[in-house]
Structure 1
Amino acid sequence: MLWIKDAHLVDPACGISGRGSLLVREGRIHKVVVGETLTAEAVLALLGCSDLAAVDQVDGTGMYLFPGLVDAHVHLREPGQEEKEEIRSGARAAVRGGFTSILVMANTQPVIDSRALVEYVRLAGERAGKARVYPVAAVTKGMAGKEITEMVDLKDGGAVAFSDDGKGIQSAETFRLALEYAKLTGCPVISHCEDDSLAGAGVMRKGEHCARLGLKGIPASAESVMVARDALLAGETGGRLHIAHVSTKESVQVIRMAKKAGVDLTAEVNPHHLLLADEDVPLTDTSYKVNPPLPSRADQEALLEGLLDGTIDMLATDHAPHTWEEKARPFAEAPFGINGLETALAAVWQELVAKGKLTPEKLVELWAVNPARRFGLTGGTLAEGSPADLVLFDPARRERVTAETRESKSHNTPFLGRELQGFPVMVWVGGKLVVKDRKVLD
C-alpha cells in the first residue's frame, strides 16, 4: 500500500489539478483526494489497514504527480540490432524518462510481421518488468509496401496498432487496403508520411540553411503530400488513421481540415521538431539528423498552435537509438534518428511548460490521456480503479545529460552535455516502484 501526499495532482481526464493525496492498494489507484489534507487515521480507514507501518509514505511537497506517460512512438531495435537498443534497456530508459507505457515499432531485423514476433516483443517487455511494452506490427510483410500482413492474427498476438514506420507506403492502393483490413481489428494504422520521389536522397529540410551546408534537402511537401493522401483514404474507407511525427505547417493545415470533415484521424508531434529547427543543425553533429528533418521556425509555430487547438493530439518521442560508430559518419551518410526517451519530458518542460507556452494539464493530456485513449491502453489517468502507473515529477530538479547516467545503450541526442530542468524522481508501474531518486531499480 502506498500514500503519496501533498503533491500537485494532474489529470485533465478526471478534472484533477491541485494539491492532494493519492492512495494505492493492490497495484491500483484506490483513492484520490484533492484540496484537503488527509490524516493518518483517515488513510488507514480508506485503505482498510490498521498499521501505518504497512503503508509506504512519499512526501510530494513541491512536486507534481502525473499518470504514467504513454509514448506512442518508440524504436527498440530488438530483435536483430541489440547493439543499438534492447527491449530491456529501452524499457529501463522509458521509466527513467517518465514513460510507463511505450508502443514499439516494427522496423526491426527481422520485421515484426508475424504473430510469433509480436508475442516475442510483448513477452520480452513483460520480462523486463519496467515500462509496459506494446508491440506495433508491420502493415506490410517485410515492410516492403506490397502485401498486407495478417492483421487479425497479429492483433490476437498483442499488437495494438500497425505501421511500416521508417518507410512510407508508396502505393495508395496498398495503404487503402490496409485501412480497410485494419477495421477488422479496431486498431489504428500509423502512417509514416513520406513521398520517396520528393524526399530522394535528402538528409535535412530543404531551404536556405540546407543550401549553406551543402547538403541535399527534403522538401516539406514530401510529408504533406502523403498526409493529404492518407487523410483522404481514411475518409473514404472509414479507417482509423494516426499520422506519425508531423513536422510541417502544411501537414497541420491538412489534418485540421480532415478532422473538420469527420475523418477518424489523430496525429503526433515529436519534441525535437518543436524545440529544434533546421537553422540549428551543425554540419559536424549528426545527432541532429532525423527523419522527418528538423523544420523551419514557421513550421514550429504551426506545430505548437496545432497542439494547443487540438489539431495535433499527442506528443511522442520517436526514440531512435543508433551506435556511436554509425552516428560518427559524415552527415550525409549517418542514419536518421534521435534518442529521446530520457530527455524528452525534461526538454519539453524546460522549453515549453516552464516558459508558459504549455500548461502541465495540457502536457498530461498530450502525453498520457490522449495516447492511452487512441490506442486502447490501460493507464494514462489517475482515475480510481486504474492501474497505479504514476510519475512523481520535480519541476525544479536540474541535471546535465551525460552518457554515464543514462539507461539507453545509445546516446545520439542533441541534448547530450546540456543541462535540463524538470525530471521524474519516482515512477511506479502497477503500483511497483521502478525508479527512485532518478535511479532505475533492479
Structure 2
Amino acid sequence: MLWIKNAYVIDPAQRLSGINDVLVKDGVIVKSAGSLQPADVLEALEAQRLDDVLQVEGEGKYLFPGLIDVHVHLREPGQEEKEDIRSGSRAAIKGGFTSILAMANTTPIVDNRALTEFVRLQGERAAMARVYPIAAVTKGFLGKELVEMMDILDGGAVAFSDDGKGIQNAEMMRLALEYAKLTGCPIISHCEDDSLAGHGVMRKGEMSARLGLRGIPASAESVMVARDVLLAAETGGKLHIAHVSTKESVQIIREAKKMGVDVTAEVNPHHLIFMDKDVSLTDASYKVNPPLPSAEDQIALLEGLLDGTIDMLATDHAPHTWEEKTRPFAEAPFGINALETVLAAVWQNLVLKGKITPDQVIALWSVNPARRFGLPGGTLRPGSQADLVLFDPEYREMISAETMETKSQNTPFLGQEMQGFPVMTIVGGKIRMAGRKLLDNKEEA
C-alpha cells in the first residue's frame, strides 16, 4: 500500500491539476484527494496500521500518469548489441515511461505471431516498463504481401507498421488500411517517398548545400502523408502518421481531420528542439529520419501540437552502437537515443521556455496515446491501474554512459547536465525506480 502526499497532481483525463494525495493498493489507484488525514487513508486502503503503508512525500514535485511512448526501437531480436528489450525497458523506466510500443524493424522482422509473442514475453520477463509489440504491415517489409493481422493481433500486437522503410505501393497501403479495420488497430505510416528521398542524409535546403550533404526534400514526407490520408478517407481505416516533420504535413493532417478522416499524428521532441542548422559534420547524433526541420517547419510543428492537429509526442528512440555513430555523417545510420533524456529535454527546452505547459505534456504523452492505441493507463482515476511518475522539476543530472541504462549513447545530450527528471516510477503498483535507482522485483504497493 502506498500513500503519495502533497504532490502537484496532473491528470488531464480528469481535468485535474493541483496539490493532492494519491493512494494505491493492490496495483490500483484507490483515491486521489487533497490533504488526506491518517484516518482517511486507513479507511480507504482498508488498513489497520499506518506502518503497513509506504508514505512518499511529494511536496515540490509533480505526480502524473505514467508516460506512454508509441514509437520505440528495442532492436531485439537480432540487434542486441544496440539494445535489447530488457535494457530498453529499463531505460524507459528511468525516463518516466511506464508503457512503450516496440517497432517491428528487427532481425528478423516481427511479421508473425511467434515473434510478436516473443517481444511481448521478453517485456514481461524484463519486468520493468510494459512492452507492447507493433507488428509489420507486410511480410519482411517487402511491401508485397500483408501479414496475418488477426493471428498477430491474438499474439499481442497493438498496431501495425513498416516503420523504417514505409509502404511505397499505394494499393498495398489501401489494402492494409482496409484489412486492419478487422483488428481495430491503427496502421502507423512511415511517410517517405523513396524516389524523392533518394540517398539524402539531412533536410534539403540552404544548410545541406552549405555542408555539402545530400538533402531529403520536405516533399518526400508530405507527398506520402497526402496519399495516406486520402486512402484512410476512402477506406475508413484507422491511420496514425509517425514522426511528422514538415509544415506541409501538418497542414494536410489538419485538413484531413476537418474532413472527418480517422487520422492521428505524432511529433518527436528532437524535431521541436533541434533544426537543420544544428547539424554538424562531426556529430552524427543529429542524423535522424525524418531529418531535422527548418525553422519554418519547426514553428508549424509546435502550432500543430498546440491546436490538436498533432495528437501526441513520441521519442522514436533509435539506439546504435558507438562505432556506427562515429562514422562520417553521410555514412552513419539514422537515429537518436532518447528514452532517458527526452523528458528533461522537453522540460528544459519547451516547458521552462513557456512553449508548452506541463498539463499539455501529459495529455500528449499519456492520455492521448492510451486512447488512440486502446491501452490501459493515461489517468489517475480511482480504479485505474497504478502506473505513476513522480517528477522533480529541479533535479539535475549529468548524462553519461555510466548513468544510462540503455546500451547505446547516440544522444546529443551526452556529457551535458540536464534538469527535470522522474525520481519515482511505478508500474502496476510496483515501484520500479526510486531516487533515480532501478528496483528489481519490488513488492506491489
With the length of structure 2 as denominator, give the TM-score of the two structures: 0.98
Q: Distance in 1 between matches of 2:285 and 2:437?
A: 25
The amino acid of 1:286's aligned partner reads A
Could you list the per-position Cα deviations for residues 351-392 of structure 1 after superposition, in whole angstroms to 9, with x for gaps in the alignment? 111111111111100000000100000111111111100000
Q: Offset at 1:180?
A: 0.3
1:72 corresponds to: 70
1:303 corresponds to: 301
Could you list the per-position Cα deviations for residues 36-58 of structure 1 after superposition, in whole angstroms to 9, with x for gaps in the alignment? 31111111111111110100000
Q: Distance in 2 between matches of 1:330 and 1:372?
A: 39
1:49 corresponds to: 47
Q: Distance in 2 between matches of 1:403 and 1:299?
A: 32
Q: Distance in 1 between matches of 2:289 and 2:26?
A: 42
Gaps of 5+ in 1: none
1:353-392 matched pairs, under 5 angstroms: 353-392=351-390
Q: Offset at 1:299?
A: 0.6
The amino acid of 1:92's aligned partner reads R
2:291 corresponds to: 293
Q: Offset at 1:114?
A: 0.6
2:172 corresponds to: 174
Q: Distance in 2 between matches of 1:42 and 1:235?
A: 52
Q: Distance in 1 between matches of 2:380 and 2:356?
A: 20
The amino acid of 2:405's aligned partner reads E
DSSP 3-state at the match of 2:80: coil
2:443 corresponds to: none
Q: Distance in 2 between matches of 1:19 and 1:101?
A: 25
Gaps of 5+ in 2: 441-445
1:157 pairs with one of 155, 165, 175: 155
With the length of structure 1 as denominator, give the TM-score of the two structures: 0.99
1:94 corresponds to: 92
Q: Distance in 2 between matches of 1:428 and 1:168?
A: 35
Range that drifts further, 397-406 or 182-191: 397-406
Q: Offset at 1:328?
A: 1.1
Q: Distance in 2 between matches of 1:224 and 1:427?
A: 37
2:187 corresponds to: 189
1:144 pairs with one of 134, 142, 145: 142
The amino acid of 1:393's aligned partner reads F
1:274 corresponds to: 272
Q: Offset at 1:421?
A: 1.0
The amino acid of 1:24's aligned partner reads V
The amino acid of 1:258's aligned partner reads A
Q: Distance in 1 between matches of 2:319 and 2:4?
A: 34
DSSP 3-state at the match of 1:94: helix
- Say how many residue pairs are matched: 440
Q: Offset at 1:418?
A: 1.6
Q: Distance in 1 between matches of 2:286 and 2:428?
A: 35
The amino acid of 2:18's aligned partner reads G
1:403 corresponds to: 401
Q: Distance in 2 between matches of 1:169 and 1:227?
A: 12
DSSP 3-state at the match of 1:433: strand
Q: Offset at 1:196?
A: 0.2
DSSP 3-state at the match of 1:388: coil
2:439 corresponds to: 441
The amino acid of 2:211's aligned partner reads L
Q: Distance in 2 between matches of 1:427 and 1:145?
A: 39
1:227 corresponds to: 225
Q: Offset at 1:160?
A: 0.1
1:420-439 matched pairs, under 5 angstroms: 420-439=418-437
2:16 corresponds to: 16
Q: Distance in 2 between matches of 1:401 and 1:221?
A: 36
The amino acid of 1:47's aligned partner reads L
1:419 corresponds to: 417
Q: Offset at 1:417?
A: 1.3
Q: Offset at 1:435?
A: 0.5
2:325 corresponds to: 327
1:248 is aligned to 2:232: no
Q: Distance in 1 between matches of 2:214 and 2:360?
A: 37
DSSP 3-state at the match of 2:402: helix
Q: Distance in 1 between matches of 2:363 and 2:150?
A: 30
Q: Distance in 2 between matches of 1:266 and 1:62?
A: 34
The amino acid of 1:109's aligned partner reads T
Q: Offset at 1:74?
A: 0.1
The amino acid of 1:292's aligned partner reads P
Q: Distance in 1 between matches of 2:267 and 2:55?
A: 36
The amino acid of 1:396's aligned partner reads E
Q: Distance in 2 between matches of 1:350 and 1:230?
A: 34
Q: Distance in 2 between matches of 1:31 and 1:80?
A: 44
Could you list the per-position Cα deviations for residues 205-229 of structure 1 after superposition, in whole angstroms to 9, with x for gaps in the alignment? 0011111111000000000000000
Deviant stretches of 4+, over 2 Å: none
Q: Distance in 1 between matches of 2:46 and 2:435?
A: 29
Could you list the per-position Cα deviations for residues 162-214 of structure 1 after superposition, in whole angstroms to 9, with x for gaps in the alignment? 00000011000000000000000000000000000000000000011111111
Q: Offset at 1:109?
A: 0.2
Q: Distance in 1 between matches of 2:4 and 2:141?
A: 45
DSSP 3-state at the match of 1:403: coil
Could you list the per-position Cα deviations for residues 309-344 of structure 1 after superposition, in whole angstroms to 9, with x for gaps in the alignment? 000000000000000011111111110000010011
1:316 is aligned to 2:310: no
The amino acid of 2:349's aligned partner reads E
Q: Offset at 1:440?
A: 1.3
Q: Distance in 2 between matches of 1:421 and 1:47?
A: 35
Q: Distance in 1 between matches of 2:401 and 2:211?
A: 28
Q: Offset at 1:92?
A: 0.1
